[in-house]
């Protein structure tokens, strides 16, 4: 027992003299850190001492010097002298051994950590639902990286679920105590996160629906502000995407302002089209114009490397910035047309909506989308077809083949038309002025029957829209008209300030159609003008000068003629029955002969035609139909194209229209958009 005590005392003295620093380092690794014991916590201290310092038992002098004898039990003076010799010779060698041991321990700890990380992430990849991830986080997560990966994995799992399942799983997540503990851990570790973990954690927290005013979200926003200059381009892109989906507050506004400055500074060096498209998408409509132009130039610099998915996202980025860049849109359209068969239908719908938002009219792109949808119409349900029809209607583009297929489907079985779908179909067919070939009466009757089915539940505003659309098409739905014109319903429509003018216009059109499209209406022998003015708008001065040059006298035509039912025509010309001679307006008035032919010239803007054609849209077609019933031969002139003609060309064009209605320099090909 005395021997053992002596050895222990000698060991302590030796350690104190020899190398105190490695001992302190070793001791620090023995203590407990955080929630978990270090990998050295189970090491036996006695064994460690003995293994580290083999000279303390057995034959210490033999380890240090093969020429020395073993200590005697009572020879203390000689033992002390020998100890001094040991210290002087062994101290450097013991220090090296301690350092070697420390390195071995560090390697063991690193290997153990890597093995633990690999096992953790393997288990994380196998999680099938957010609850599994939360259980794993509670059981095994120890590092900041593991906690952040748990949160981002939860969001990835939710993103791939259906809407109903996502709603159910979110409720389970927020009711799970493990999620609260996970958020608390992320809050504590927020300042120790790497830049990637930081922005992806914020993105996942926001996407999961954690309230923006919580301490976790606000803390992450503040830390992002502090580390903003450390973010690389990818992190900057993720942060911009996250901020785009958040409500404005002080931290969000400050971070957006700082991000804009950072984007402006780094734009010349960004070569990744993916990063650029995300920045465009997330900068928002309030982005300064100079920064929008810099983004445009950066995208154009990398436009040759743009793929089809990039083209779609760049489209949406321009919409988000509310910036119309024709060179970028043309390049994106080309990519989309070349890869149209690889595009999912929902993405094509988003592209059409983006074109409408940007007022980008590319008939080649629209035709390609319409042809592709028509070729795959057997794979689409009727609801999706109606969505496409609505998108084309907002663009003013008539997909005639697709509309013909849908008309046949409606005639065969109209049960799929709910009230919302019925209103979309009526609006699209009336505005785009599409009349199914051969069976249009049956098509209108089918739509009328569907409308009658919903009369008990339809609102007055929706009823007015439906009746107005059918009247535009030249069909009078008598039962719906009777309900619309009841005193109470009519008074409700004309009262109120919201959309009052539009409703009054629609009611006026309905009343006009009831009179002029009625089977009992008889073509009048003479239509008196209510008044006419000699004033001509700037857009019609060229036409007036051409008519004066052609006809030689102002009395040979009228301008700005006002007719009954609030119709107006730009120029009116009277001719004999053979259309060989132009008559003086005063002479024709005095004769009031039924054989006199009246020409009505309407100079209309491009918006009055279906996009890329000279096919009139619904209201213009209705006006032309009604003027025909009033006894006019209507000549439609695309005013924009007319203004581009020379004076001689304008005279020749009007001469051909007056004396021969078939001559027209404006073909549908010439009307196509040249974006």
Ranges of the chain whose pLDDT falls below 70: 1-117, 496-497, 523-536, 587-594, 661-675
pLDDT of residue 101: 60
pLDDT digits (tens, 9 = 90+) for 336-380: 999 998 889 999 999 999 999 999 999 999 999 999 999 998 888
pLDDT of residue 19: 45
What is the spatial distance between Cα 598 and Cα 115, in angstroms, rounded to a whole number? 93
pLDDT of residue 62: 35
Residues of the chain by 3-state class (helix, strand, coil), percent to 5: 70, 5, 25
State the residue for tokens 């993916």.
274
pLDDT of residue 663: 41
What 8-state DSSP symbol labels residue 609? B
pLDDT of residue 652: 92
**CB-based contact 26:102 (threshold 8 Å):** yes
pLDDT of residue 527: 67
pLDDT of residue 226: 92
Contact residues for 82 (Cβ-Cβ < 8 A; gap 6+) = 61, 68, 71
**CB-based contact 405:382 (threshold 8 Å):** no
CA distances from 410 to 264, 453, 624 (A): 54, 15, 28
Furthest-apart CA atoms within the chain: distance in Å = 155
Computed from CA positions of residues 587, 591, 596, 599, in that sequence, does the dihedral angle turn out positive or negative?
Answer: positive
pLDDT of residue 385: 94
pLDDT of residue 282: 76
Tokens of 666: 């404006």
Helix (H) or strand (E) holding 111: helix 76-125
pTM score = 0.72
């Amino acid at each position: 027992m005395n021997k053992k005590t002596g050895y222990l005392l000698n060991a302590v003295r030796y350690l104190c003299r020899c190398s105190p620093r490695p001992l302190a380092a070793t001791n620090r690794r023995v203590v407990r850190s955080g929630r978990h014991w270090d990998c050295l916590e189970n090491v036996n201290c006695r064994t460690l001492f003995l293994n580290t310092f083999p000279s303390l038992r057995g034959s210490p002098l033999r380890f240090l010097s093969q020429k020395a004898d073993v200590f005697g039990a009572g020879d203390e003076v000689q033992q002390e002298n020998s100890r001094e010799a040991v210290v002087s010779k062994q101290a450097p060698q013991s220090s090296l051994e301690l350092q070697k041991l420390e390195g071995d321990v560090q390697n063991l700890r690193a290997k153990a950590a890597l093995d633990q990380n690999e096992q953790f992430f393997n288990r994380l990849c196998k999680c099938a639902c957010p609850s599994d991830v939360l259980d794993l986080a509670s059981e095994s997560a120890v590092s900041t990286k593991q906690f952040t990966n748990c949160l981002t994995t939860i969001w990835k799992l939710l993103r791939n679920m259906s809407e109903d399942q996502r709603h159910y799983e979110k409720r389970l997540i927020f009711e799970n105590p493990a999620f609260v503990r996970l958020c608390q851990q992320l809050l504590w570790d927020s300042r120790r996160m790497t830049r990637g973990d930081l922005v992806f954690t914020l993105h996942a927290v926001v996407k999961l629906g954690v309230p923006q005013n919580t301490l976790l979200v606000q803390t992450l926003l503040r830390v992002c502000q502090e580390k903003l200059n450390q973010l690389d381009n990818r992190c900057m892109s993720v942060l911009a995407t996250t901020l785009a989906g958040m409500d404005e507050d002080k931290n969000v506004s400050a971070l957006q302002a700082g991000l804009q400055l950072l984007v402006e500074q780094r734009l010349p060096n960004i070569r990744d089209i993916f990063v650029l498209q995300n920045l465009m998408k997330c900068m928002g409509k309030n982005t300064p114009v100079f920064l929008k132009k810099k983004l445009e130039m950066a995208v154009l610099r990398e436009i040759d490397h743009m793929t089809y998915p990039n083209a779609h996202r760049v489209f949406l980025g321009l919409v988000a910035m509310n910036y119309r860049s024709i060179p970028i849109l043309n390049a994106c359209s080309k990519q989309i047309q070349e890869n149209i068969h690889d595009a999912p239908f929902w993405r094509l719908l988003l592209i059409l909506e983006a074109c409408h938002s940007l007022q980008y009219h590319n008939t080649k792109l629209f035709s390609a989308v319409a042809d592709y949808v028509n070729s795959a119409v057997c794979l689409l349900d009727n609801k999706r077809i109606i969505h496409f029809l609505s998108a084309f209607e907002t663009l003013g583009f008539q997909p005639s083949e697709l509309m013909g297929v849908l008309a046949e489907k409606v005639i065969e079985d109209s049960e799929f038309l709910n009230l919302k779908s019925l209103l979309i179909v009526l609006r699209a067919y009336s505005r785009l002025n599409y009349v199914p070939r051969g069976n249009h009466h049956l098509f209108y009757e089918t739509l009328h029957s569907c409308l009658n089915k919903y009369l008990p539940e339809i609102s007055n505003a929706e009823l007015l829209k439906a009746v107005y659309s059918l009247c535009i098409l030249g069909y009078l739905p008598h039962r719906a008209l009777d309900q619309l014109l009841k005193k109470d319903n009519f008074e409700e429509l004309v009262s109120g300030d919201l959309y009052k003018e539009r409703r009054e216009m629609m009611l006026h059109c309905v009343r006009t159609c009831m009179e002029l499209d009625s089977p009992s209406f008889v073509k009048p022998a003479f239509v008196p003008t209510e008044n006419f003015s000699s004033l001509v708008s700037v857009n019609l001065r060229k036409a007036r000068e051409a008519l004066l040059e052609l006809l030689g006298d102002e009395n040979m035509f009228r301008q700005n003629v006002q007719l009954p039912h609030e119709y107006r025509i730009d120029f009116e010309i009277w001719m004999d029955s053979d259309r060989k001679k132009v008559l003086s307006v005063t002479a024709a008035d005095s004769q009031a002969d039924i054989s006199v032919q009246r020409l009505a010239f309407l100079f209309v803007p491009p918006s009055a035609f279906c996009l890329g054609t000279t096919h009139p849209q619904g209201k213009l077609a209705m006006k032309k139909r009604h003027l025909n019933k009033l006894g006019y031969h209507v000549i439609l002139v695309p005013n924009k194209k007319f203004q581009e003609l020379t004076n001689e060309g304008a005279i020749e064009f009007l001469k051909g229209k007056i004396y021969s209605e078939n001559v027209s320099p404006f073909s549908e090909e010439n009307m196509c958009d040249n974006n």
